């Protein structure tokens, strides 16, 4: 698998890449590393462990729990809950560690392990690196120091976690959702119980789809990566809006009453204006990524707000938010972080906040999302090229400069070397889709000739 930890924990095909032995070993290593770092100093450590409904999550959860308890960590098993719920409970219960078993929007055969530090925050990179090194060191035969007798960890179910998390979601809503009809697509995933419960308690009339997880159907033709079912259901039921989550419910995309997609950029735009009105948008700033649609940036500038752009990935958005104290950030894919109420992207919270804005204003979602015009965005992948020369090729630099001159202020060009494959992604935005396609095709040809 190469380096175990990626940008969002450890992922792979369950029982092939991600085995019970690996899950157990990483959990023991995490306990030892955190103990050495002083996280457990002076008290008996506790971990919160949750999972999404994937079939493989059952044996992987057992392995993680066994590993932690064998290392002297008490475990609270919260069962099937969204990733942001595990992060929230880790923080509110004062736990030393949180562990979520999920591969998010990936297909069912995959699974993953994500660790949270005390407070429900993502583990620092150096701790992940240390866990990996310690795991590898002991997987080659060096024995662990193991507690015995009363020193071993105790394991219990913490079923109160569901109600505690839902109560938190309802408690931070600025207003109720009475009078709204909402279709919820739960992706047969981790929010299948939480999200319908939260929207119902908040006063909405709900219709649910994709809310019958059987361990095998997660993300299968539904959820935030497959919006067609939701679009049809919203129109069929005459709903005010639709909300779609991914498998672990850290994402949210929406659909308006006419069945049109409302993406993460548009959701951020709506929430930014709502938060500014409420006085909670610190620094009059929203954090996005370099892939944020240019239409989003133009809309924010027109509204007198600043858009800070980071590298692609919600971890970079979160780092920028924490460093500068910003309150709102996210990605086009629907990862939206409302830092006053969550330590990670929270799809259920995002959906509730979006619906609350519709209810409070009496305006349609289409009207609210109309604050920004999504400019056509064309993405072309150019494979089998030397991606390391993107920044140094004079031919490529000249072609990009010419393209930017042609597009003017209503378009832009972005060349991104892939982080995992020998390819370069060419992204072009323009007011006109045909112009965007033409410029992207021309630049892709230059990438091939200059870097091939």
pLDDT one digit per residue (tens) for the chain, 452 residues? 457 887 778 999 999 999 999 999 999 999 999 999 888 988 999 999 999 999 999 999 999 999 999 999 999 999 999 999 999 999 999 999 999 999 999 999 999 999 999 999 988 889 999 999 999 988 877 788 899 999 999 999 999 999 999 999 999 999 999 999 999 999 999 999 999 999 999 999 999 999 999 999 999 999 999 999 999 999 999 999 999 999 999 999 999 999 999 999 999 999 999 999 999 999 999 999 988 999 999 999 999 999 999 988 888 999 999 999 999 999 999 999 999 999 999 999 999 999 999 999 999 999 999 999 999 989 999 998 888 888 888 899 999 999 999 998 889 999 988 766 778 999 999 989 999 999 999 999 999 888 87
169: burial class by Cβ within 10 Å (0-12, 13-18, 19+)?
A: buried
Q: Which residues contact 43 (CB under 8 A, 6 or more apart)?
A: none
Phi (first) and psi of residue 76, to 5 degrees = -105, 110
Catalytic: which of 104, 292, 320, 393? 104
Active site residue 157: no
Which residue positions form the known binding site for Mg(2+)? 104, 246, 248, 250
Take residue 80 and report the two structure tokens written for it: 């099937």
Per DSSP, 434 falls in state H
The closest alpha carbon to 45, from 23, 77, 79, 68, belongs to 68
Which residue in this structure is represented by tokens 């179910």?
A: 157
Phi (first) and psi of residue 77, to 5 degrees = -90, 115
Query: What is the pLDDT at residue 314?
Result: 85
Take residue 386 and report the two structure tokens written for it: 């030397």
Note the residue count of the chain.
452
Query: What is the pLDDT at residue 1?
Result: 43
- Percent helix / strand / coil, the chain, rounded to 5: 40, 20, 35
Give the whole-angstrom CA distance, residue 317 versus residue 448. Answer: 31
CB of 173 closer than 8 Å to CB of 209: no
Which residue in this structure is represented by tokens 């475990």?
A: 75
Which residue positions form the known binding site? 104, 246, 248, 250
Domains along the sequence of the chain with CATH: 10-158 (3.40.120.10), 164-172+181-369 (3.40.120.10), 377-451 (3.30.310.50)
- pTM for this model (two decimals): 0.92
Per DSSP, 374 falls in state -
282: burial class by Cβ within 10 Å (0-12, 13-18, 19+)?
A: middle
Query: What is the pLDDT at residue 388?
Result: 85
Give the whole-angstrom CA distance, residue 145 versus residue 140. Answer: 15
Supply angle C-alpha 452, 310, 420, rounded to 5. 35
CB of 415 closer than 8 Å to CB of 424: yes
């Amino acid at each position: 698998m190469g380096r175990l930890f990626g940008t969002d924990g450890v992922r792979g095909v369950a029982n092939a890449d991600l085995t019970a032995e690996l899950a157990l070993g990483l959990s023991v290593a995490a306990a030892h590393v955190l103990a050495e770092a002083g996280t457990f100093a002076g008290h008996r450590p506790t971990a919160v462990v949750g999972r999404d409904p994937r079939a493989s999550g059952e044996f992987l959860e057992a392995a993680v729990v066994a590993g932690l308890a064998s290392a002297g960590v008490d475990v609270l098993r919260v069962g099937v809950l969204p990733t942001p719920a595990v992060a929230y409970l880790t923080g509110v219960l004062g736990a030393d560690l949180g562990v979520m078993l999920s591969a998010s929007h990936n297909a069912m055969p995959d699974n993953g392990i994500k660790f949270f530090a005390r407070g429900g925050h993502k583990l620092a990179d150096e701790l992940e690196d240390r866990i990996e090194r310690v795991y590898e060191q002991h997987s080659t035969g060096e024995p662990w120091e193991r507690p015995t007798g009363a020193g071993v960890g105790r394991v219990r179910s913490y079923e109160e976690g569901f109600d505690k998390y839902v109560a938190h979601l309802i408690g931070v809503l600025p207003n109720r959702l009475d009078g709204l009809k909402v279709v919820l697509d739960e992706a047969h995933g981790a929010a299948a119980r939480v999200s319908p419960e939260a929207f119902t308690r908040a006063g909405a009339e709900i219709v649910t789809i994709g809310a019958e997880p059987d361990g095998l159907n997660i993300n299968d033709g539904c959820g935030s990566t497959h919006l067609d079912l939701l679009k049809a259901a919203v129109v069929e039921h005459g709903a005010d809006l639709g909300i779609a989550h991914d498998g672990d419910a850290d994402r949210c995309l929406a659909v308006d009453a006419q069945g049109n997609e409302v993406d993460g950029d548009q959701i951020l735009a709506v929430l930014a204006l709502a938060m500014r009105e409420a006085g909670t948008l610190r620094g009059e700033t929203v954090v996005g990524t370099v892939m944020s649609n240019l239409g989003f940036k133009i809309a924010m500038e027109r509204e007198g707000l600043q858009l800070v752009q980071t590298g692609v990935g919600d971890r970079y958005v979160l780092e920028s938010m924490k460093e500068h104290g910003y309150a709102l950030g996210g990605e086009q894919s629907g990862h939206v972080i409302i830092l006053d109420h969550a330590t990670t992207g929270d799809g259920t919270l995002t959906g509730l906040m979006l619906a609350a804005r519709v209810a409070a204003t009496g305006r349609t979602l289409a009207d609210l999302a109309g604050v920004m015009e999504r400019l056509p965005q064309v993405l072309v992948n150019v494979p089998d090229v030397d991606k390391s020369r993107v920044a140094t090729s004079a031919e490529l630099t000249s072609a990009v400069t010419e393209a930017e001159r042609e597009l003017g202020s209503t378009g832009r060009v972005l060349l991104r070397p892939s982080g995992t494959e020998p390819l370069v992604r060419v992204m072009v935005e323009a007011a006109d889709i045909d112009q965007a396609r033409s410029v992207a095709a021309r630049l892709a040809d230059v990438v091939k000739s200059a870097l091939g």
